[in-house]
Amino acid sequence: MDRHEDGRPRVSSSQRSGHGVAVGVAFGASVLASLGLAVVYVLGGQPQLEGALLLVALGSIGVGLVVWAKRFMPVGVDEEAREPLPSRPEEREVAEETFEAGAELVGRRRVLVRMLAAALGALGVALLFPIRSLGRAPGSALFQTKWRAGVRAVRANGVPVRASEMVAGTVVTVFPEGDIGVADSQTLLIGLEPGTYRPLPGREEWAPEDVVGYSKICTHVGCPVGLYQPAEHLLFCPCHQSAFDVLNGAMPVAGPAARPLPQLPLSIDVDGYLIAQDDFPEPVGPGFWARSRG
């Protein structure tokens, strides 16, 4: 934009009055929009109308102000000197001397200074202790869930699961009876086709009537592994796309998970409901420093 020496725009007076009208119209539109906002609110409110009216109410003021500044104000012609940022040497000396004079007085009592340091240090350390109140020690919490020998597997609505219901291709999320909704105990029961279960050594009796159970907590960063693909017998985690082979001890076959989903040893009680034989043989969920030492 062409400007005079004093920074104001070089425009004809009719152009300038045109700009003035534009700014005035903008502010006027804002007034109307604000009135509209009040009306919309009184009538019960409606988000889209509120958004559109706010756009006009706020935006008109903004546009008006900018046009006013650009078209009527001096722009870009003012100059200011920068003073050197570092203080002048003599000023710095005065400041240093002022500090050192006092520091010398304090520092004469070296023993006292050291004891003050010790006192402040000890206090600082002591004040860190309440941080411990923020939470309990992990203890054995990460090493066990609520599953115990003989506990029935129940759905989120409390209904226990019969082995006969778990035909091939079905999957259901279960919890230990009495601990529905406990996050670390969430487990998937999956129905397999007869003869397809390939147990890891020692786990031959863990999948009665071709129903197998795995922890639902992904061993990567803990999302529920909610996607089951029956054809490939894959559990697929939606967060970072880890895939676990259900037929083969839930070994990770793709994605960033490095460890299999822990398997829950299952059994069937006298009424035909699925129960756990014991807790998971290893900690569920993502890894941590001492996980193998539990």
Considering only 18, 24, 28, 62, the residue that binds other proteins (CB under 8 A) is 62
* Contact flag: residue 97 with other proteins (CB under 8 A): no
Count the Cβ atoms, other than its own, within 10 Å of residue 5.
8
* Contact flag: residue 19 with other proteins (CB under 8 A): no
Considering only 240, 269, 272, 281, the residue that binds other proteins (CB under 8 A) is 240
* Contact flag: residue 234 with other proteins (CB under 8 A): yes
Stretch that binds other proteins, among 78-86, 116-124, 198-206, 267-275 (CB under 8 A): 78-86
* Contact flag: residue 35 with other proteins (CB under 8 A): no
* Contact flag: residue 268 with other proteins (CB under 8 A): no
Q: Are 8 and 68 in contact (CB under 8 A)?
A: no
Considering only 147, 228, 273, 280, the residue that binds other proteins (CB under 8 A) is 228
* Contact flag: residue 29 with other proteins (CB under 8 A): no
In the block, which residue shows the tokens 């129960």? 275
Residue 286's identity, in one-letter code, is P
Q: How many residues interact with other proteins (rule CB under 8 A)?
A: 104
* Contact flag: residue 274 with other proteins (CB under 8 A): no
Alpha carbon distance 292, 294 (integer Å)? 6
CB of 277 to other proteins, least distance (A): 21
* Contact flag: residue 131 with other proteins (CB under 8 A): yes
Stretch that binds other proteins, among 101-109, 136-144, 200-208, 260-268 (CB under 8 A): 136-144
* Contact flag: residue 288 with other proteins (CB under 8 A): yes
Alpha carbon distance 274, 264 (integer Å)? 11
* Contact flag: residue 247 with other proteins (CB under 8 A): no
- Interaction with other proteins in 111-130: which residues (CB under 8 A)? none
What does the block give as tokens for 130?
């309440």
Of 258, 208, 216, residue with least CA distance to 238 = 216
Q: Which is nearer to other proteins, 117 or 168 (CB)?
A: 168
Considering only 149, 183, 200, 281, the residue that binds other proteins (CB under 8 A) is 183
Q: Are 160 and 210 in contact (CB under 8 A)?
A: no
Residue 124's identity, in one-letter code, is G
Of 199, 188, 177, 170, residue with least CA distance to 269 = 177
* Contact flag: residue 251 with other proteins (CB under 8 A): no
In a 10 Å sphere around its CB, with 0-12 CB exposed, 13-18 middle and 19+ buried, how is residue 77 labelled?
exposed
* Contact flag: residue 7 with other proteins (CB under 8 A): yes
| Contacts with 271 (C-beta within 8 Å, 6 or more apart), sequence order | none
Using DSSP's 3-state secondary structure scheme, residue 145 falls into coil
* Contact flag: residue 108 with other proteins (CB under 8 A): no
Of 146, 221, 203, residue with least CA distance to 179 = 146
